[in-house]
Amino acid sequence: MFNYRDQADGLRRIMAKTSARIISVIGANGQPATPWMRNLALSMLAPEQRLLLIHANRQPALAHSLQSIVTNNSALKRGIVRHPQGYDLTCLTENDLLTSPLSQDLKAQLDGIVKQLSYDYDTVMIEAQLDTQDHSLIMPLIAEHELVIQMDRSEAAIKAAYVTIKHISQQHGQIPLGVVVTGANHEQGQQYFMRLNQVCKQFLGVSLDFVGAMLVEDPVSAKAQNGQVKQAASNATASKLGQTALAFKTVAHRLEKQRITTPSMAVA
């Protein structure tokens, strides 16, 4: 966790003009992908590496959002907590952006805070969302770094992802966009990705990158009465959880392999 009393490491990063690797994740419909992103953050977390996960909206574990820090001119440390699983956690806003859009001034201030924080971590993961008013990304810096779109295996998801990509390209130009398909094995994920990529190339002039696919675990019925059935269900659940963890690790590895070099965010 960032040591707020000893900022020497952050100062060294600023002097060296280096900042964290920033990866943002957005749902195909332009909304946050909260549970999925927590699992991805765990998969991206490496020993001796500092990771900050920034949710879009305030979570139960957080007493303060970065928005409240700005509004009340409070100490930054009040908005960051240590998650039991080893990464740091914060959030951008107090309320759902669907009902409480941010002003341009507040967006700029949040953008500056996240840039400041980026010097104190190795990886910053942001739960992205589109503004409901102008369909731009909630912070400009998201468009300057890696952005991953999470979509499920459905016709509706392809259409929703296309609309989201259209808004992003119209507002921010061509930026690196990766796609993860959930509820699909690798072959199925590739098929749905190729369909999305084809229409984006044809109508938007945008090329996407396939990051990976993962199946969604099926819930095991809690009504099973037979002991053997219960044991089989327990074994099946453990197997599926293991497969899911492996799928997240595979996606994290792919993201690491395709690391994109971007300009430093250091202040000139």
Contact 126, 25 (CB under 8 A): yes
Residue 115 lies in a domain: yes
For 67, the token pair is 């928005």
Give residue 12's Cα distance to chain centre.
Answer: 27
Number of domains composing the chain: 1
Residue 263 lies in a domain: no
Enter the DSSP assignment of 258. Answer: T
pLDDT in tens, the chain (268 residues): 444 434 555 555 555 546 788 999 999 999 888 778 888 888 888 888 899 999 988 888 788 889 988 888 888 888 899 999 899 999 998 877 666 778 889 899 999 999 999 999 999 999 999 988 889 998 999 999 989 999 999 999 999 999 999 999 999 998 889 999 999 999 999 999 999 999 999 999 999 999 999 886 443 434 444 555 455 445 544 555 556 667 777 777 777 766 544 443 333 3
Q: In whole angstroms, what is the distance from residue 261 CA to residue 176 CA? A: 11
**Polymer length in residues for the chain:** 268
Q: Are strands 81-82 and 51-57 parallel, antiparallel or unpaired?
A: unpaired
Residue 12: Cβ within 10 Å count: 11
Q: What is the CATH classification number for the domain harbouring 164?
A: 3.40.50.300
For 257, the token pair is 């392999």
Residue 3 lies in a domain: no
Q: In whole angstroms, what is the distance from residue 71 CA to residue 216 CA? A: 39
Enter the DSSP assignment of 159. Answer: H
> Would you state the pLDDT for residue 178?
93
Residue 262 lies in a domain: no
Residue 109 lies in a domain: yes
Q: Could you tell me the residue range of the domain that residue 171 belongs to?
A: 8-257
Residue 264 lies in a domain: no
Residue 15 lies in a domain: yes
Q: In whole angstroms, what is the distance from residue 126 CA to residue 147 CA? A: 9
> Would you state the pLDDT for residue 226?
52
pTM of the model as a whole? 0.78
